[in-house]
Chain A
């Protein structure tokens, strides 16, 4: 910090800018007042109110169904894809194609899927949201696992294959264990992404099964309530915990 010189100014500004809004939300979620702006004393009543809110509870259940399902599918497909791309293709174009769903703007993917589901006659429901979340989730898992494969050396697998083990045996005995941390980290990331994803869910969901972000969206449109503050604080806690665990499992930032 000390030797940053004048760079301290933007440095401190950035972190204040990133965290003050979050901090304000969390503090206000413990506010006794009904006004979300004026602090009148400590209370956990909004958390209680939250748990009694039927809409939010249903939204949470819907979100969990999608997030768990999408995580399982995306992790399996993404891991296989990463191995296939970095071990059997070694082509920059195939790799870029595999990661494209993570870069394409969510709105474009959302309307494309809406049009596609309408065309092939898939009824919009939690299942169509799940199918959509798997596409970009898979790309994120693949990205994390590809980065990990880049750090490990392939001679173990080659040795295993030289010794007569087939592709599948080699995968089960050698590849999978060495990639486990990256796979778990990737799964955790997909889970948070799916948990928080709004735009694609908004377009590909049926009208009767809103996910939590869709519930939040409709609440926020109507204005500010202390209940949302409490919900925000909880969601922040969940995301922070998951992302920090993922970071500790594989040093994600080393892949920069």
Chain B
């Protein structure tokens, strides 16, 4: 009697869980599958077929598109992109890490203000933020004119339309995405560990490199991925601040889809970006597991701010 009651109770609970999943998560998961997963898989599929004459696809299997990516022209763009995205990432970390560290040292009330001020620019129009740098770096712009006024240079110098301008624009765009995860990882670090290192004879610099840095590495990695991958795929900054002279993977992909109408080759290039993302996340997960066996829900948490 009592056994059957609990059994039907358990059955009801299971039914309720399934109903809950279907009602609540069902529509969303379906939507994501339809409008993200299938489209991305489609990109994968397209990469193995031939291009149509006016865009689109001809259903004949080929590995041609992959072979093409190894042509010197494209290898050049790829390596150039990696260098620019890499430089951007390093710069963003060099600026972002100490800033995040400084924020953790603020009184609690000011910490929130400081964090909101970091996120705020990120939520504003990306084109507008890039446009601001066109104004700043212009030969008639404030940077050049104040340098001339100060007598540091005699005539305006070409700041705009250089790889440097592209890097500055990318750092500006993605700096908030470095600061947040790094902040979170420093905030989470047990301060007593640094005291312990100091107590055992480590100088402040030594304690930083032996304890703080390795233990915040998972956060640093997340920040690095959040800068590196979107930098690779960005075509607006190279175009507006690089003046089209700096070509990155993002520009190539854009051109293949909208101008050259070679979707399969564009798909191969997009897969390159996606696989980098996946590989980097896998490395990040491995590192955070190695360090403290946690960090699973780490990436997901950061999305709130991204």
Contacts and interface: CB of A to CB of B under 8 A. Distances in A.
Contacts of B141: 37
B96 A14 contact: yes
B174 to A, nearest CB: 12
B250 to A, nearest CB: 6
Given A14-B96, A239-B124, A107 B254 contact: yes
Given A18-B117, A99-B300, A239-B124, A113 B39 contact: yes
Contact of B277 (A22, A78, A105, A135): A105
A163 interface: no
A244 interface: yes
Interface residues of A, number: 106
B36 interface: yes
27 contacts: A7-B102, A7-B105, A10-B99, A14-B95, A36-B135, A37-B135, A84-B29, A87-B20, A100-B32, A103-B303, A107-B250, A108-B274, A111-B43, A114-B257, A115-B46, A116-B42, A132-B35, A143-B304, A192-B123, A198-B236, A217-B236, A220-B127, A220-B131, A224-B138, A240-B124, A242-B123, A256-B187
A7 B191 CA distance: 17
User: Chain B at the A interface: mostly helix, strand, loop or mixed?
Assistant: helix
Contacts, number: 303
Contact of A96 (B16, B40, B300): B300
B39 A115 contact: yes
Contacts of A253: 112, 115-116, 119, 305
A242 B99 CA distance: 25
Contact of A252 (B23, B273, B299, B304): B304
User: Chain A at the B interface: mostly helix, strand, loop or mixed?
Assistant: helix
Given A21-B136, A103-B306, A81 B127 contact: no
B63 interface: no
A111 B267 CA distance: 8
Interface stretch (B177-185, B192-200, B210-218): B177-185
A239 B253 CA distance: 29
B305 A256 contact: yes
Interface of A: 1, 3-4, 7-11, 13-15, 17-22, 24-25, 28, 35-38, 77-78, 80-81, 83-85, 87-89, 92, 94-109, 111-116, 118-119, 131-132, 134-135, 138-140, 142-144, 147, 161, 167-168, 171, 189, 192-193, 195-196, 198-199, 203, 213, 216-217, 220-221, 224, 228-229, 231-232, 235-236, 239-240, 242-244, 247, 251-256
Interface in B1-44: 16-17, 19-21, 23-29, 31-32, 35-36, 38-40, 42-43
Nearest first, the 5 A-B pairs at minimum CB distance are A84-B25, A84-B24, A81-B28, A112-B39, A21-B132
Given A78-B28, A111-B253, A118-B56, A256 B125 contact: no
Nearest to A85: B25
B186 to A, nearest CB: 11
A44 B129 CA distance: 21
A251 B115 CA distance: 11
A93 B134 CA distance: 42
Contacts of B56: 118
B128 interface: yes
B132 A24 contact: yes
A81 B258 CA distance: 34
